[in-house]
Amino acid sequence: MRALRFDRFGDPHVLHLVDLPDPVAQRGDAVIAVKAASVNPSDLKNITGQIPGAPLPRIPGRDFSGVVLDGPRDWIGAEVWGTGGDLGITRDGSHAELLVVPAAALVRKPERLSFEEASTVGVNFVVGWLGTVEAARLATGENIAVFGVSGGVGGAVAQIARALGGRVIGVDRRRPADGTPAAAVIEEFVTLDGGARDIGARVRGCTAGKGADVVYDAVGGVTTQAALASLAHGGRLVVISAVGTRTVEIDLVDLYHNETRILGCNSLCLDAAQSGARLESITPYFESGQFRPLPITDRYPLDNGTDAYLAVEKGIRGRIVICP
């Protein structure tokens, strides 16, 4: 099989195409012919050495969709999708023609989605589900402010929150483009500019002065102060990232007076099987059309995999997909 691989950490140019023996399914495993695999910012962080635990050499790639070639008999020929915090990090990932995963990680792809569309869902919707449903436990009628709503995770969170009956307030530097899934579900939009108090006041203005019951901060670091300022009494702040700075100053008196809860969520802690369980929960929403995949900006063959990573490094909006 052909695969993208790196044997040292660095920029996308450390990736190179290699020919490797085709893997064979061992007991408890399955071999998948990869039809499409998106490139996530965390994949880029992985090859630059920002994610600990990746022994080298390594094939990167967390998200995938494809067809089962070998493994449990009742799965042969099945169209599947998946992701995992272990894929591309502690075990070889999806940016290859073939991928080995535990059989327990197999999840049937929604028929409504193409292979390319299905490959863009994993990381964004799993961490979105983890934070909105499992950690914050967003309830019907609650207000949720989504910082970074125009991004991949933010767009997923907005759709999940709306499906739960939440009222979605989008917060970002730019409003989501017309026609995107996030644009269809947000009820209010706040431009991410100015100081933390100003942004917090504008979010409160969207909630009759109360503040957001939940703030899902898909940016973090540079936005943490504004996210905290946007919370209602007893509000929950979901943190999944830290952009610009790893440390922030928090007024502890304000924190406990407001009875604020800060919830950290890390999808890297979910292996392919645990991530698959979340995709099982999400599948019906895609089958019904209630959830829509995020827009694909560009597609690359495996031969041009480095270019796909460079596109993500440049911060191009939309999803980048490798089609082996």
Lowest mean pLDDT among 64-68, 120-124, 194-198, 299-303: 194-198
| SS3 assignment, position 145 | strand
H/E segment holding residue 69: strand 64-70
Fold of 123-267: Quinone Oxidoreductase; Chain A, domain 1 (3.90.180)
Q: CA dist 207 to 1, 203, 211, Å?
A: 54, 7, 6
Spans of all domains in the chain: 2-121+294-323, 123-267
pLDDT, tens digit (0-9, with 9 covering 90-100), for 273-322: 999 999 999 999 999 999 999 899 999 999 999 999 999 999 888 899 99
Alpha carbon distance 203, 171 (integer Å): 9
pLDDT, tens digit (0-9, with 9 covering 90-100), for 9-25: 999 999 999 999 999 99
pLDDT for the residue 120: 97
pLDDT for the residue 172: 96
Residues facing 33 on adjacent strands: 67, 98
Average pLDDT over residues 199-214: 97
pLDDT, tens digit (0-9, with 9 covering 90-100), for 159-176: 999 999 999 999 999 999
Task: List the one residue out of 202, 154, 150, 152 whose CA is nearest residue 173.
Answer: 150
Model confidence band, residue 52 (pLDDT cutoffs 50, 70, 90): confident
pLDDT for the residue 194: 86
Alpha carbon distance 4, 94 (integer Å): 9
Asked if the domains at 2-121+294-323 and 123-267 fall in one CATH topology, the answer is yes
pLDDT for the residue 63: 98
**pLDDT surpasses 80 at 53:** no
Whole-prediction pTM: 0.94
Strand pairing of 143-147 and 98-102? unpaired
Q: CA dist 258 to 30, 60, 62, 195, Å?
A: 49, 42, 38, 20
**Class for the domain spanning 2-121+294-323:** alpha beta
pLDDT for the residue 17: 97
- Percent with pLDDT over 90 in the chain: 95
pLDDT, tens digit (0-9, with 9 covering 90-100), for 102-142: 999 999 999 999 999 999 999 999 999 999 999 999 999 99
pLDDT for the residue 230: 98
Model confidence band, residue 58 (pLDDT cutoffs 50, 70, 90): very high
**pLDDT surpasses 80 at 191:** yes
Alpha helices in 245-304 (DSSP H): 252-257, 272-288
pLDDT for the residue 113: 97
pLDDT for the residue 160: 98
Model confidence band, residue 54 (pLDDT cutoffs 50, 70, 90): confident
- Percent with pLDDT over 70 in the chain: 100
